[in-house]
Chains A and B, each alone.
Chain A
Amino acid sequence: MNRVGQAVKKFLIEYSMLLVLLGLCLFFSIATLDTQIPTGSRGAEQLLPRMREITHSGGTILVVAKSSPEDREFTSFIKEESGFSDAQVLFLDGDSPRVVRAELERRASDGSVASAIVGTRSVSHWSLLLDRGEKYPPWADVPLIFPRKATSSNFLTPGNLKNVAGQSAVIAIIAIGMTLVIITGGIDLSVGSLVALSAVTAAMAMRDFFGGTDADWSGICAAVGVAVCLAALVGTLSGAMITWFGMPPFIVTLATMSIARGLAQILAEGQSVYQVPESFSWLAVGKPLGVPNEVVVMLVLYGAAHLMMTKTTLGRWFYAVGSNREAARLSGVPVALVLMIAYVASGALAGVGGVLEASRLKSGSPLYGVMLELDVITAVVVGGTSLAGGEGKIFGTLCGALAIAVIRNGMNLMNIESYTQGVVMGALILLAVFVDSLKKGQFVALVRRISARP
């Protein structure tokens, strides 16, 4: 029994962040529960099974919708997801009642009535449809199918969860590098500025050297390569000053933060750069694997980083250098090399984040990533990495980044204003540090001391 308790306790301590994340998801799933008639793709999702039944038994369906964005989402969802043929389903989308009336009339007269009429919430009150039997008797027995009232969570939908993953991707990717740096006992404040520098560089390289909006894939790849390399170069600069001259990381990266932001402004002359090819946005938001590419990139990078930190010599070196630099040096660990790798990786990953940001927004602006470094550091700290160095897990950082995105997203769904969100994010950081001190037993000692007092 005791052993089970020990195992549970160990699991809770090791993966406390995962539990916090799941708890947050559960909370927002419940908090965003809502009873209403679903519209858009959610309405279509609800009706799809009935429509499949009808088409399977050889029936045809008439889909009626207005031209509002929600209704367009409704019809496009059916078109994309169902795989119905044109013969099975006829779409009367974006049309006025007049066109629908004409269609009903034509079909009533030539006897080709459909087996069912499917409509969105916005057409459900049309008298034309409700009173169809009076004007066109052949339609009288054709059932009308509209979305019904349903209780569902706005948070817990596949679409929204993909959204959360997409929102967290850039921060999470940059947080990998930040985790490495913080584990070695340093800090990198320049990542937010490097996002801007990298985004601007990528966009400008495409505009000026690779044919602007007509750039082909090789041009895009070259521009991305240049941007990431430049960010890595700035990381190298920081690393060199920190390792060779022993300058404090906080100050050095504070300086490179300013330099990188300034460089981005100079390069772009203070403007956003829009002349990028359409296909550039595929990099971040394309979905060849079902989820956006940026999420795929994030997961791949996390897999690699986790492997590196747990299974390789280099990973051990990171922990050793952060835990006790002098002992690491005396143990033959190439301390300067390890520190260098951390800052170069942090710079390069910030570069990757910048490229993805530019790709998603189809432009490069020197104003990207302002204060982003604080979000990234928050993700790392919430993920359980100690700012003193030597302790921390890559997996924890992923949980931290996701937790931040979940909270942001959940609060947006609950219509909480951004000022309040700031307060909640701050409380989250305190909570994370509190959990950390709980792990170290300081809290228990305090409680014991207070309760022992006579």
Chain B
Amino acid sequence: MCKSTTDAQQPILKMRGICKAYPGVQALGGVDLDLSSGEILGLVGENGAGKSTLMKVLSGATYPDAGQIFLHQRPCELESPRRARDSGIAIIHQEMSLIPTLRVWENMFLASRGWVRRAEEVEETRKLVGLLGVDIDPHKLCRDLSVAEQQVVEIAAALQIDAQVLILDEPTTALSAREAERLQKLLGKLKQDGMAIIYISHRLEEILEWTDRVQVLRDGCTEDMFHTSQIERADLIRSMVGEDLVGEFPPRSRSKEQVLLSVSGLGRGNDVRSVCFDVKAGEIVGITGLVGSGRSELLRLLCGADVATEGTMMIDGTALRPRSPREALEQGVCMLPEDRKADGLFLERSVRENFAVPNLHRFSRFGLIREAAESAAFRRYASQMKLASDRVESRAVTLSGGNQQKLLFARWLCRECQVILLDEPTRGIDVAARYEIYQLVRMLTDEGKAVVMVSSDLSEVMGMANRILVMRHGTIAAEFENQSSLSQRQIMDVAFGNESS
């Protein structure tokens, strides 16, 4: 441990002039970063601003084209993830990187060499996890842990290698509000013990509450550097986007009287139980609730991804209980999945193909595709989506998160579905693209479509929805008309049930 008095002034980590180019894009154009021990640095920026690339460089996952990294004032080469770990840099990814089939203590000591010293390692695990104020049995399999517990194990693993720099990439996306609060306390504790922490998040509230300093990246360069205590949310947004957003949400439209989707008594096992609600044309119904309350499962029943065991749904007056997504699509129900990459996109195929897959019957005659019609349709919807259409033939994986989501919107818009189900439509999407997506959703309702939007982001639900349904334990616990008198507190009370009131 090198805790000299100069540490307070001398940053423990210095990055100077880091550059990294990928084919067709300069991801980083000379970024500097300083980090002292006992400090939490917030790193924000739109998608594609270079945050992830910078962290990849720091964790040894990619090698920069130019620039230098100093640890403890000494230049060092982070040429592999192993090297970065050995130098005391630990990263906790958005996706958990524990091995689900191994036990907690095995995961903690995965990178250690030589013989397994089981008793010692179990004891050490228990001690480190205990230090973090959590009680996890070291013998549990990691797949049996909750997301929050897995995160704690990863942090404990970082302590185990004596990490002095801890990077957290969007750690709260999969956490409930309560778990996030606990993580905040934990980070505060680590900070007091002298850990240097880099915190990446799209949730500006967390950045403003949790961090000491904020560094804003834009287009691969450092745009601004703030002391968190001296700024407000609007400053951050302006700095990230480069302009003032008109308002965070576009104005709400009025719904029509015609009921497009009517769900009664829909259920499947214990995940979803006798759910009833109506959605009118031109209306947005927001569904919120804790993770695991059955929100996504409900959407999967509606779009036919899973088959309901009870209840019925009516689409524009036609009764339907879809047994496959294909049947649901034929009746005009489509879904934008929560996990775009796993359930939405064909990552290695071209943008055009991704757009066309569910719409092929519109461009083809006797199974033969008319490519002119396909290209014309793509151009039309791409321009409507403000999707850069010069990337038609590039693979979908090369698009940014926001553009990928727009691509999926274009796909379903072309399909002309009546009922559109959105599962976390802005998850992992930056502020500017987020606004565009809100506008798209508004456009859909203006055209008289019915939208069901599941979201964990309460301000998003309250900004967009006409009505809000709160789910708990697989059923709808409450329904609110979205009026100005409604507060987030009311919704959370229902979501958590009795325990929080």
Which residues of A does B touch, CB under 8 Å?
Answer: 311-314, 316-317, 319-320, 323-324, 326-334, 386, 390-391, 441, 448-449, 452-454
Closest chain A residue, CB of each to CB of B326 = A332
Interchain nearest-CB distance for B56 vs A (Å): 12
A454 to B356, CA, bound (A): 48
Most A C-beta atoms less than 10 A away, residue of B330, B347, B357, B361: B357
8 residue pairs from A and B, CB less than 8 Å apart: A313-B360, A316-B353, A316-B369, A317-B360, A319-B353, A324-B346, A332-B329, A333-B358
A-binding residues in B (CB < 8 A): 23, 63, 65, 77, 79, 303, 305, 324-326, 329-330, 335, 337, 342-349, 353, 356-358, 360-361, 364, 367-369, 371, 411
Which single residue of chain B is at the shortest CB-CB distance from A337?
A: B326
Q: Is the CB of A390 within 8 A of B367?
A: no
Which residues does chain A contribute within 8 Å of B63, judged by CB atoms?
Answer: 448-449, 452
8 Å CB contact of B77 from A316, A323, A333, A454:
A454
**Docked CA distance A334–B324 (Å):** 9
Are the CB atoms of B349 and A313 closer together than 8 Å?
no
Asked if B348 contacts A330 (CB within 8 A), the reply is: no
A320 to B343, CA, bound (A): 12
Q: Is B349 within 8 A of A330, CB to CB?
A: no
Task: Tell me the complex Cα distance, A315–B233, Å.
Answer: 49
In the complex, the answer to whether B360 meets A316 with C-beta atoms within 8 Å is: yes
Residues of B within 8 A of A316 (CB): 353, 356-357, 360, 369
Q: Which residues of B contact A391 (CB under 8 A)?
A: 348
Q: Determine the chain A residues whose CB is within 8 A of the CB of B305 once the complex forms.
A: 329-330
- Contact of B348 with A390 in the complex, beta carbons under 8 Å: yes
Residue with the greatest number of chain A CB neighbours at <10 A, chosen from B79, B325, B337, B364: B325
> Is there contact, CB below 8 Å, between A324 and B345?
yes
Find the residue from B23, B326, B330, B342 having the highest chain A CB count within 10 A: B326
A331, B357: Cβ atoms closer than 8 Å: yes
CA distance A429 to B388 in the complex (A): 39
Could you tell me the distance between the alpha carbons of A95 and B384 in the complex, rounded to whole angstroms? Answer: 86
Residues of A within 8 A of B360 (CB): 313, 316-317
**Would B357 and A329 count as touching, CB distance under 8 A?**
no
Known contacts A319-B353, A329-B324, A449-B63: A313-B344 contact under CB 8 Å: no
Is there an interface contact between A327 and B77, defined as CB atoms closer than 8 Å? no
Chain A residues whose C-beta falls within 8 Å of the C-beta of B348 in the assembled complex? 323, 386, 390-391
Provided the pairs A324-B346, A327-B346, A391-B348 are in contact, do residues A311 and B369 lie with their beta carbons within 8 angstroms? yes
Given A330-B305, A333-B357, does the pair A320, B346 have CB atoms closer than 8 Å? yes
Asked if B79 and A453 sit within 8 Å, CB to CB, the answer is: yes
- From B329, B346, B367, contact of A312 by CB (8 A): B367
Task: Please give the distance in Å from B390's CB to the nearest CB on chain A.
Answer: 13
Rounded to whole angstroms, the CA-CA distance of A329 and B349 in the bound complex is 16
Nearest B residue to A334, CB-CB: B326
| A contact residues around B369 at 8 Å (CB) | 311-313, 316
Cβ-closest 4 pairs across A and B: A323-B346, A331-B358, A332-B329, A332-B326
Cβ-defined contact, A313 with B367, below 8 A: yes
Tell me, rounded to whole Å, the shortest Cβ–Cβ distance linking B352 to chain A: 10
Known: A319-B353, A332-B326. A313 touches B346 (CB 8 A): no
- A319 pairs with B335, CB closer than 8 A: no
Instruction: Kindly list chain B residues whose C-beta atoms are within 8 Å of the C-beta of A333.
Output: 326, 357-358
Residues of B contacting A312 with CB < 8 Å?
A: 364, 367-369
B374: nearest residue on chain A (CB-CB)? A316
Minimum CB–CB distance for B269 against chain A, Å: 20
Least Cβ–Cβ distance between B128 and chain A, in angstroms: 34
Residue of B nearest to A324 (CB): B346
Of A313, A314, A323, A330, which one neighbours B347 at CB under 8 angstroms? A323
CA distance A142 to B329 in the complex (A): 87
Inside 8 A of A329's CB, which chain B residues have their CB? 305, 324-325
A319 / chain B contacts, CB cutoff of 8 Å = 346, 349, 353
Which chain A residues lie closer than 8 Å to B342 at the CB level? 324, 326-327
A324 CB contact (under 8 Å) in B23, B330, B347, B356: B347
Of the candidates A311, A317, A323, A328, the one having the most CB atoms from chain B within 10 angstroms of its own CB is: A323
Asked if residues A328 and B337 are in contact (CB atoms below 8 Å), the reply is no
Instruction: Decide: B326 and A327 in contact? CB cutoff 8 A.
Output: no
Residues of the B chain whose Cβ atoms lie less than 8 Å from the Cβ of A449: 63, 79
Q: How far is the CB of A315 from chain B (nearest CB, A)?
A: 8
A311 touches B343 (CB 8 A): no
**Can you name the residue of chain B whose Cβ is closest to the Cβ of A449?**
B63
Out of B344, B361, B368, name the residue touching A311 (CB < 8 Å): B368
Q: How far is the CA of A353 from the CA of B157 in the complex (A)?
A: 57
Contact pick for A330, options B77, B343, B367, CB 8 Å: B343
Within the complex, the shortest CB–CB distance from A9 to chain B, in Å, comes to 11
B353 and A453: CB pair below 8 A? no
Chain B: minimal CB distance from A100 (Å): 66
Q: A320-B349, A326-B342 are in contact. Are A453 and B77 (CB under 8 A)?
A: yes
**B357→A320 contact, CB < 8 A:** yes
Q: Are the C-beta atoms of A332 and B358 separated by less than 8 Å?
A: yes
| Cβ-defined partner of A331 (8 Å) among B65, B79, B325, B367 | B325
B395 CB to closest chain A CB (Å) equals 10
Partner of B303 from A311, A330, A386, A454 at Cβ < 8 Å? A330
19 extra A-B contacts, CB within 8 A, seeds A311-B368, A324-B346, A327-B343: A312-B367, A312-B368, A312-B369, A314-B367, A316-B369, A317-B357, A319-B349, A326-B343, A327-B345, A331-B329, A331-B358, A332-B325, A332-B326, A333-B357, A390-B348, A441-B23, A452-B63, A452-B65, A454-B77
Complex alpha-carbon distance, A454 and B69, angstroms = 14
B364 proximity list for chain A (CB < 8 A): 312-313
Nearest to B360 among chain A residues (CB) is: A313
A291 CA / B487 CA spacing, docked (Å): 81
- Chain B residue numbers with a CB within 8 Å of A328 are 346, 357
- Give the Cβ gap from A202 to chain B, nearest Cβ, in Å: 31
A residues less than 8 Å from B345 (CB atoms): 324, 327
CB distance from A336 to the nearest CB of B (A): 9
**Chain B residues, Cβ within 8 Å of A454:** 77
Q: Which residues of B contact A326 (CB under 8 A)?
A: 342-343
Contacts A327-B345, A329-B324 given; indicate if A313 touches B358 (C-beta within 8 A): no
In the bound complex, CA of A331 to CA of B303 (Å)? 10
B356 cross-chain contacts in A, Cβ below 8 A:
316
A76→B368 CA distance, assembly (Å): 49
Task: Give the interface centre of B77, B335, B349, B356 by most chain A CB atoms within 10 Å.
Answer: B349
Give the docked Cα–Cα distance between A91 and B294 (Å). 92
A308: shortest Cβ distance to chain B, in Å? 9
A331 CB contacts on chain B under 8 angstroms: 325, 329, 357-358, 411
Contact status of A330 and B337, CB under 8 A, knowing A311-B369, A449-B79: yes
Question: How far, in angstroms, from A413 to B260 measured CA to CA in the complex?
Answer: 73
| Chain A residues positioned under 8 Å from B343 (CB to CB) | 324, 326-327, 330
Q: Give the distance in Å from the alpha carbon of A323 to the alpha carbon of B345 in the complex.
A: 9
> Which residues from A are CB-within-8-Å of B411?
331
Q: Across the two chains, which residue of chain A brings its CB closest to B328?
A: A332
Q: Could you tell me the distance in whole angstroms from the C-beta of A66 to the nearest C-beta in chain B? A: 60
Complex Cα distance, B79 from A189, in Å, reads 41
A41 CB to nearest B CB, Å = 45
Chain B residues whose CB sits within 8 angstroms of the CB of A334 once the complex forms? 326
Please indicate the chain A residues that have their CB under 8 angstroms from the CB of B371 in the complex: 311
Q: Using CB atoms, name the residue of chain B closest to A444.
A: B23
**How far in angstroms is the closest Cβ of chain B from A45?**
45
> With A and B bound together, what is the CA distance between A328 and B337 in angstroms?
12
Q: In the complex, how many angstroms separate the beta carbon of A392 from the nearest chain B beta carbon? A: 11
Chain A: CB-nearest residue to B325: A330
- The smallest C-beta distance from A381 to any residue of chain B, in angstroms, reads 16
